[in-house]
Structure 1
Amino acid sequence: MQKTANVAVPARPRARPGWSARLGPYLYVLPAALFVTVFMLYPMVATLIQSFTDDNGLNKANFIGLGNYESFFTDPNSLNSFKNTLLWVIGAVTLPVGLGFSFALLLERLPGAAFFKSSVFLPYTISGTVAAILFGYVLDADNGILNSALRAIGLGALTHRWLFEAPQNTWSMIAAYTWQATGTNLMIFLIGLQGLPREPLEAAKIDGASGWTYTSKILIPMLRPFLTINILMAAINGFKAFDLIWVMTQGGPARSSETLAVTMYRESFVLFKQGYGASIAVIISVVALVFSYGYLQSTFKKES
């Protein structure tokens, strides 16, 4: 019986996709790329260029090189605002993050803690302007709730003009920010705690870990990603603190409570020195980026 030979059929070449198919993926990305270019990259480049000019928003801008930056580092008001910004970063990182972590540890184990969680988180749902107005009444020197309460319990010697003495005015506003921002830190830490694997936690307790040892050696390392998020967000919020300060003191008295963001706004839109204000915006961005990069690098090294 004669065998039939197997004849290999040559594969048909695959048709190359048309130009519309090749451009399809880029069309999906195009809206996002345009958004980033128009609303992020272009303003960044324009602000950087403007920082080298004497632009005042009215006359033709002239190139002055590093003149604005030299003025910043020789201006006592700008240096004071830089110091206040550092105080804001320190306060925004230590107080809301520390309280949020502490409350998370307490409320995770507390039965019926939903009311307390909502109470701590509720201030975050209001705007910074509303929080500033509220604490303006609380910290008023004459009829404020805080001073009135101190007088009522016989501690009148502890009353102060909370918003009129530096650096006390800055710390008073940081306290108002802490009241508003602790809730979001609490919720992020609670999410982290609820997602932790229970086996290593129970094993640590069986081995005798408790108290600060359990928290520092077990919980904090396991919660490091959430801690990194909260610290980074708090530091960035400290660098750009503006609305609460502007409503409560407008940077006063005598510009003693200004931060870099408030100084940038005053120089750009009150004094119409927009070139100088742009240089302050560049300085804020550079300092925040350097801090963020350094902090993330140190965090990644610890994790590795």
Structure 2
Amino acid sequence: MGRAVTQPTPRQADLLPAARRTRNQYWLSSAGFVAPAVLLVAVVLYLPFIWTTWISFTEYNGLGDPAWVGLANYREMFADPEFLTSIRNTLFWVVGTIALPVGLGLLIATLSHGMPNATLFRLPFLIPYAVSGVAVGVIWSFVLQTNGALSQALEVLGLPGSELRWLLDDPLNTFVMIGAATWQGAGVNALLFGIGLQSIPKEPIEAARVDGASGFTLFRTMTWPMLAPLTTVVVGLAIVGSLKTFDVIWGMTKGGPGRVSETLALTMFKETFVNNAYGLGAAVALFLTVVTVLASVLYLRRQLADSRSI
């Protein structure tokens, strides 16, 4: 037997067009709210990106019309040994920024968690974050310059290292600049991890203590897994920030001596605004953008995949 087809009643038939009109009005209203934000993103982000991509395939000095050169800027970029040094230094910054500011921030937050007046303990580490990156570079360049404050202090104390040229020798200058960035950024990471520790439920921690877990074992088996979502955000921000590092380096060495301490961000700036090679600078900018996006996407996909498997 065939199934009987239920026809809408006259009342239901009258309501269908009204429901469609209501749904269409809802979508139109939603689009009206979203459109300004989409337009702003397109104007501020996408149009400059398209223009930069176009300029990267041209020879352009900021005056006149760009001349199409195809992949010449990219070939010149990868053939330049100084560019390869910039890539190496950028990798140093990525690894150093994850290991030091993030690691030190986690250590400060863990040690101060549960202490009375823990905020006062973290405050001295947080104050440098209020200082601009260029100011941090100026402060630390005074400390680390040849025969500067650090060298003189080591010499007076009879400790080794007073003869080192902190900002002149490669890759030592990159490492000490990562240390300066750590001084600035560890406090805010400690603040974020402190907030994460406060949000962890106490019951599982107390149950683990009853079972005999304590110290590093308690942290590794209970606290650290519960901090994983926050750690993903903090490390992701650190990766993106390290790839774009500019201000601290500019304030301390300006990429020198020569170009031995440049990163990709500094190379992009110098090629564009110092050498007036806008096409080559745009090629470096596009390469840096692709690297930043790929690093962020791969890291987040890895972290999200790990979180689903738990």
TM-score normalised by the chain length of structure 2: 0.90
1:4: which partner in 2?
none
Matched, 1:92 2:97: yes
Give the Cα separation in 2 of the matches to 1:83 and 1:18: 55
- Which digits, 9 at most, give the CA deviation of each residue in 1:188-243, with x for residues without a partner? 10111000011111111111112222122211111011111111111111100101
Quickly say closer, same or farther: Cα 1:219–1:159, change in 2 above 3 A. Answer: farther
Identical-residue share of aligned pairs (%): 41
1:246: which partner in 2?
250
The amino acid that maps onto 1:186 is A
Quickly say closer, same or farther: Cα 1:296–1:22, change in 2 above 3 A. Answer: closer
Give SS of 1:109's match.
Answer: coil
1:58: which partner in 2?
63
- Which digits, 9 at most, give the CA deviation of each residue in 1:57-102, with x for residues without a partner? 1232122221111111110111101100000111111100000000
Aligned match for 1:38, one of 23, 39, 43: 43
Quickly say closer, same or farther: Cα 1:203–1:138, change in 2 above 3 A. Answer: same
1:29: which partner in 2?
34
Aligned match for 2:268, one of 233, 252, 264: 264
The amino acid that maps onto 1:188 is L
Q: Does the 8 Å CA contact 1:147/1:156 hold for their aligned counterparts?
A: no
Give the Cα separation in 1 of the matches to 2:54 and 2:185: 35
1:19-168 → structure 2 map (5 Å cutoff): 23-142=28-147, 144-155=148-159, 157-168=161-172
2:279: which partner in 1?
275
2:4: which partner in 1?
none
Q: Does the 8 Å CA contact 2:152/2:162 hold for their aligned counterparts?
A: no
Give the Cα separation in 2 of the matches to 1:157 and 1:218: 41
The amino acid that maps onto 1:116 is F
Give the Cα separation in 2 of the matches to 1:29 and 1:60: 36
Deviation at 1:48, TM superposition (A): 1.1
- Which digits, 9 at most, give the CA deviation of each residue in 1:26-76, with x for residues without a partner? 221121011100001111111111111112212321222211111111101
Give the Cα separation in 1 of the matches to 2:290 and 2:39: 24
Q: Does the 8 Å CA contact 1:167/1:257 hold for their aligned counterparts?
A: yes
Matched, 1:188 2:192: yes
Q: Does the 8 Å CA contact 1:150/1:159 hold for their aligned counterparts?
A: no
TM-score normalised by the chain length of structure 1: 0.92
Give the Cα separation in 2 of the matches to 1:64 and 1:183: 47
Give SS of 2:67's match.
Answer: coil
Root mean square deviation of aligned Cα: 1.9
Bigger shift: 26-35 or 254-263?
Answer: 26-35
Quickly say closer, same or farther: Cα 1:47–1:9, change in 2 above 3 A. Answer: closer
Q: Does the 8 Å CA contact 2:82/2:259 hold for their aligned counterparts?
A: yes
Give the Cα separation in 1 of the matches to 2:103 and 2:262: 25
Q: Which runs of 5+ in 1 are unaligned?
A: 1-7
2:224: which partner in 1?
220
Q: Which runs of 5+ in 2 are unaligned?
A: 1-8
Deviation at 1:17, TM superposition (A): 5.5
Quickly say closer, same or farther: Cα 1:109–1:141, change in 2 above 3 A. Answer: same
Give the Cα separation in 2 of the matches to 1:276 and 1:189: 40
1:3: which partner in 2?
none
Give the Cα separation in 1 of the matches to 2:71 and 2:215: 54
